[in-house]
């Protein structure tokens, strides 16, 4: 046996070195042990140490793809990343950078396609560098104190924009400079904190400069004096800023409103900054919802973006619009297409984009002239991210429930798939994954609902398995056929559980009516959809209806709390992560108030039928019915659903005499990201489930 394991490890190491192009010259690239690889099972440690692709970008000639691969270092509780490129024609992958500490990410091609610009971590923060494809001639472009957060070099390579934090408004330190030990924060208006940070008078601004061999010149803050973020908080997504093809203009998304209006409205706009005259124009003025992710046509005459109609509804339809930059005439291209349009990419007069369709993400195409219907290009049970369109191929990042992201091309003529990267194949060659079934379930009101069912590896239909109901968060986020590093269905299945993941009411990819239904009806039809899904699967001879559990985060955490008092003894245990428990205190503690205003109907002190129904059905109103063991998880830096919601629920459960466990992370927010915290999270997750369901 020892000889067999040694032989196995040698083969695995060889595969790993080939896949990673000897980035670390050993299996320590992931710190995977013999046992972790050899037992053939997906475990939390293996999941955490899988390599992760991001930032794929196609070279100017369409022949190469550059991308970043990140890895978790559990011992150091950190992440490191390196750059690679792949040849689309022969799928040869080659590393550009080689490190086992620090981060190299966000690659962008130079105009000649023989080098990439990228961000790299330094003692002064993330800075922009340039490096040749062979890993030589590494040059630092920016050297700003505090670093930069994102960047892009113009198509001609003569200019650069970058984003960095700028102090715009005074805070406590400025008002009381001699009180340096005071921890006071002083506010006179909303918003006071966002996602996981307190507002301190600093905002993200876009700077543009001439890029020369001698450095940056003629630096201009295009948001000078503005007390709002570009790109927008809290995600600061650089994809919402783009060059035109001549390098003469920059389009960006910003939400240029303040205070209470900012906290209660989603009204952002598309702005175009002209570098020559330093003038800014608002392309989407008068359009009241989110307007985001602009992209220029090839001749710079038009600009496309997605737009939401209703200010305050963050889950409104993402409508594809095009504007003529000379006349400002706007055309709504997806009026007859009942799905979102995302990740826009111009090709001639056509616009390629990604749409969520029936719990998958597919590549679509529509003419910018507005004279044709949307064409759905791809098909299959997968999630696709659009990374570029070449003469012959569509380049995508693809993932499924049973496999993490890899880079693929789709032939534009015959739609044939070709796999370009294989960063985890050496690992998955030795891990048994469970079967994923697509199941249509009839809901209580006679609708058809898509449900993903993941079976344990080596599934035996003659046995009975404990079964988990997964409750999605959002609430308006699709339960897609894609990979997750947090709520991973295959990991749950590998621990012997059947996983039931319904696309209940309120989720995208089934039309706007299906999506909108949940707003104002949290305790209604979508809760019945959950029960329809678990009841349908529990009837199977291989599902043990005496060993059912329900788990979920955010809105899914609320769902767990509500089901705990309305499940009619179906479930034996629950796990709620960062869930809404008390709607009144949640309204006073959260930050983006447009969300409860839209989904709960308004503030708890206001009048209205929807408001009354929402707050009357807050989970804290039904504690008298709680009698089932529950584990509650939260992060103390969570300002979206403050951790006090979880404390309220835990206190109520213990005072009611319900067996309960509280798991708190002092340095996490709404999700758990740090490697060691993630392993503790998974350890407690399965320890709790195993206690009551096995």
Q: Which residues are catalytic?
A: 554, 638, 670
Structural tokens at position 448: 């058809």
The 8-class DSSP code of residue 413 comes to: T
Structural tokens at position 591: 């930050």
Measured CA to CA, the distance from residue 255 to residue 311 in angstroms comes to 12
Q: Is the dihedral of CA 680, 685, 691, 694 positive or negative?
A: negative
> Residue by residue, what is the 3-state secondary structure of 611-679?
HHHHHHCCHHHHHHHCCCCEEEEEECCCCCCCHHHHHHHHHHHHHHCCCEEEEEECCCCCCCCCHHHHH
Measured CA to CA, the distance from residue 376 to residue 415 in angstroms comes to 11
Helix axes 555-563, 525-538, angle to 10 degrees: 70
> Are 423 and 399 a contacting pair, CB within 8 Å?
no
Measured CA to CA, the distance from residue 657 to residue 157 in angstroms comes to 66
Classify burial at 414, counting beta carbons within 10 Å of its beta carbon; exposed 0-12, middle 13-18, buried 19 or more: exposed
Strand ranges across the sheet with 115-122? 104-109, 115-122, 125-132, 139-140
For 681, other C-beta atoms within 10 Å of its C-beta total 20
Q: What three-state secondary structure class fits 691?
A: helix
Q: Is the dihedral of CA 43, 48, 51, 55 positive or negative?
A: positive
Strand ranges across the sheet with 393-400? 383-389, 393-400, 403-411, 417-419
∠ CA 64-66-69, rounded to 5°: 145
Strand ranges across the sheet with 660-665? 436-442, 448-454, 498-502, 465-471, 543-553, 573-577, 630-635, 660-665
The CA-based dihedral angle spanning residues 563, 568, 572, 575, taken in that order and rounded to the nearest 10 degrees = 0
Measured CA to CA, the distance from residue 571 to residue 626 in angstroms comes to 12
Q: What three-state secondary structure class fits 249?
A: strand
Q: Which H or E run contains 411?
A: strand 403-411
Nearest to 497 by CA among 692, 675, 658: 692
For 617, other C-beta atoms within 10 Å of its C-beta total 18
C-alpha gyration radius of the chain: 25
Greatest CA separation for the chain: 75
> E-strand spans in 526-618?
543-553, 573-577
Structural tokens at position 331: 């055309």
Nearest to 595 by CA among 669, 518, 670: 518
Measured CA to CA, the distance from residue 483 to residue 318 in angstroms comes to 23
Q: What three-state secondary structure class fits 95?
A: strand
Strands 543-553 vs 573-577: parallel, antiparallel or unpaired: parallel
Nearest to 479 by CA among 340, 359, 342: 359
> Are 479 and 469 a contacting pair, CB within 8 Å?
no
């Amino acid at each position: 046996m020892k000889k067999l394991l040694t032989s196995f490890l040698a083969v695995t190491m060889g595969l790993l070195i080939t896949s990673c192009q000897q980035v670390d010259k050993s299996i320590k690239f992931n710190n995977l042990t013999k046992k972790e690889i050899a037992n053939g099972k997906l475990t939390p440690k293996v999941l955490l140490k899988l390599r992760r692709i991001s930032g794929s970008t196609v070279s100017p000639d369409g022949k190469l793809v550059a991308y970043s691969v990140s890895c978790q270092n559990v011992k150091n509780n950190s992440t490191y990343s390196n750059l690679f490129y792949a040849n689309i024609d022969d799928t040869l992958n080659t590393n550009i950078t080689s490190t086992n500490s620090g981060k190299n990410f966000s690659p962008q091609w130079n105009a000649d396609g023989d080098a990439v610009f990228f961000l790299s971590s330094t003692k002064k923060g993330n800075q922009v560098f340039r490096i040749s494809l062979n890993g030589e001639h590494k040059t630092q472009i920016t050297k700003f104190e505090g670093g930069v957060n994102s960047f892009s070099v113009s198509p001609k390579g003569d200019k650069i924009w970058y984003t960095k934090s700028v102090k715009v408004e005074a805070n406590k330190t400025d008002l009381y400079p001699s009180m340096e030990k005071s921890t006071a924060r002083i506010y006179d208006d909303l918003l006071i904190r966002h996602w996981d940070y307190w507002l301190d008078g600093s905002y993200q601004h876009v700077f543009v400069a001439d890029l020369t061999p001698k450095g940056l010149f003629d630096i201009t803050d295009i948001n000078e004096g503005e007390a709002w973020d570009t790109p927008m908080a809290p995600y600061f997504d650089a994809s919402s800023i783009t060059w035109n093809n001549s390098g003469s203009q920059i389009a960006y998304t910003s939400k240029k409103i303040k205070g209470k209006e900012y906290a209660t409205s989603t009204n952002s706009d598309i702005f175009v900054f002209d570098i020559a005259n330093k003038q800014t124009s608002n392309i989407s003025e008068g359009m009241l919802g989110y307007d985001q992710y602009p992209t220029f046509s090839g001749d710079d005459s038009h600009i496309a973006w997605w737009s939401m109609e209703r200010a305050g509804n963050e889950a409104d339809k993402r409508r594809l619009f095009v504007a003529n930059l000379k006349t400002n005439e706007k055309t709504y291209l997806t009026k007859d297409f009942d799905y979102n349009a995302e990740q826009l990419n111009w090709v001639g007069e056509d616009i390629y984009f990604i749409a969520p369709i029936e719990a998958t993400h597919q590549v679509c195409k529509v003419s910018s002239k507005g004279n044709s219907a949307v064409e759905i290009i791809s098909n299959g049970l997968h999630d696709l991210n659009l990374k570029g369109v070449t003469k012959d191929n569509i380049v995508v990042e693809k993932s499924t429930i049973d496999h993490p992201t890899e880079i693929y091309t789709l032939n534009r003529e015959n739609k044939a798939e070709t796999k370009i990267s294989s960063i985890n194949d050496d690992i998955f060659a030795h891990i048994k994954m469970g079967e994923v079934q697509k199941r249509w379930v009839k809901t209580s009101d006679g609708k058809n609902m898509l449900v993903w069912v993941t079976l344990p590896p080596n599934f035996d239909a003659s046995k009975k398995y404990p079964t988990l109901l997964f409750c999605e968060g959002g609430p308006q986020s699709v339960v897609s056929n894609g990979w997750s590093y947090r709520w991973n269905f295959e990991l749950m299945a590998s621990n012997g559980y059947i996983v039931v993941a319904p696309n209940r009411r309120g989720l995208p990819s089934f039309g706007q009516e299906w999506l909108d239904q949940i707003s104002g009806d949290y305790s209604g039809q979508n809760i019945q959809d959950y029960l329809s899904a678990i009841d349908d699967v529990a009837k199977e001879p291989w599902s043990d209806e005496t060993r059912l559990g329900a788990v979920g985060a955010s809105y899914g955490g609320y769902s767990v709390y509500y089901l705990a008092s309305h499940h009619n003894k179906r479930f034996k245990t629950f796990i709620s992560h960062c869930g809404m428990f008390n709607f009144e205190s949640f309204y006073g503690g959260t930050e983006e108030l447009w969300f409860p205003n839209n989904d709960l109907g308004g503030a708890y002190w206001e009048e209205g039928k929807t408001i009354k129904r929402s707050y009357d059905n807050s989970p804290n109103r039904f504690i008298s019915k709680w009698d089932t063991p529950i584990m509650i998880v939260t992060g103390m830096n969570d300002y979206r659903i403050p951790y006090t919601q979880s404390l309220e629920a835990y206190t109520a459960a213990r005072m009611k005499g319900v067996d309960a466990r509280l798991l708190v992370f002092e340095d996490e927010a709404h999700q758990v990201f740090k490697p060691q915290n993630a392993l503790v999270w998974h350890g407690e997750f399965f320890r709790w489930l195993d206690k009551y369901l096995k």
